[in-house]
Structure 1
């Protein structure tokens, strides 16, 4: 094909190309904004830490309501733990209940707010998620729980803490 017999200009095709390019640019810009917004607000790239933060929120809500069986199931990531308590001999529910009542490092937990989470460990999203929670509205009473990404279990105290 030479310049003299070039195809006729098709305005519909040109509109389609323009819309495709503009839509792609908007999509990429939105993805970049969501990625950065999640990171800046402390909820992980693209808000990937939100599901784990919700589990931590449910855990502390159960502690506040003194529903230690539910809280223990969330802590061990085993909601049916009562059907096989022998599996959890190393850290039984009685010890768990003492740790979160009598020996609680922040006293009785009456209210909480999950503030922020940070990935820890190796890999793109880390092997562990550290979740910071303010207890009873007191900024001096912050608890850091570590949540293992591999099996969903909690660890307290967390191996690291972070400032925010």
Structure 2
């Protein structure tokens, strides 16, 4: 047992290291809190959890705009190698998909531009079972895509529309 008289000598280097560790922990906590709320306020979900789904919808619509329907179909089904096992998708083949996104598109016209506006978590659980992504298409119509978290597939129309963003 040590007493006050034989306490260890003051070590300024160790004290500086302890102070720096405490500052780093406090800064990390503040940054985490800020990122949590900034992600939510900007429409990307808590901690930007919806951002991957927004990027997927963006890539999907970029492929539609480029008329690369095979690539868009792969993104839609979350299966880039879909052509090697096309029979798996016989209930919704590429020809029907292409028709749905050209002549029968959600805006009833060719998709030439888009902007992902916002997203919201949908379903149960902390981060939900899916993400509803609001997209402005051709600067005139808003559509809502649904990205399912469990398998990464996309769906249109979304189960419901976003009412707040």
Q: State the TM-score, normalized to the length of structure 1.
A: 0.91
| Residues 1:62 and 2:63 are matched in the alignment | yes
Report the Cα offset of residue 160 of structure 1.
Answer: 1.4
Residue 74 of structure 2 corresponds to 73
Task: Name the structure 1 match of 2:135.
Answer: 133
Supply the distance in 1 between the matched residues of 2:104 and 2:22 (Cα, whole angstroms): 60
Matched residue, 1:116: 118
Q: Deviations over 1:120-162 (max 9, x none)?
A: 1111111111111110122xx1111111111111111100111
Unaligned runs of 5+ in 1: none
* Structure 2 Cα separation of the partners of residues 7 and 83 of structure 1: 71
| Post-superposition CA distance 1:58-105 (Å, at most 9, x none) | 110111111111111111111121222211111111111111111123
Name the residue aligned to 1:95. 96
Q: Spell out, residue by residue over 1:10-69, the C-alpha distance to the aligned partner (whole angstroms, 9 max, x if none).
A: 222222221111111111111111111111111122222222211111110111111111
The within-5 A match list for 1:5-44 is 5-44=6-45
Instruction: Extract structure 1 runs of 4+ deviating beyond 4 A.
Output: none
Partner of 2:142: 142
Structure 2 residues without counterparts, runs of 5 or longer: none
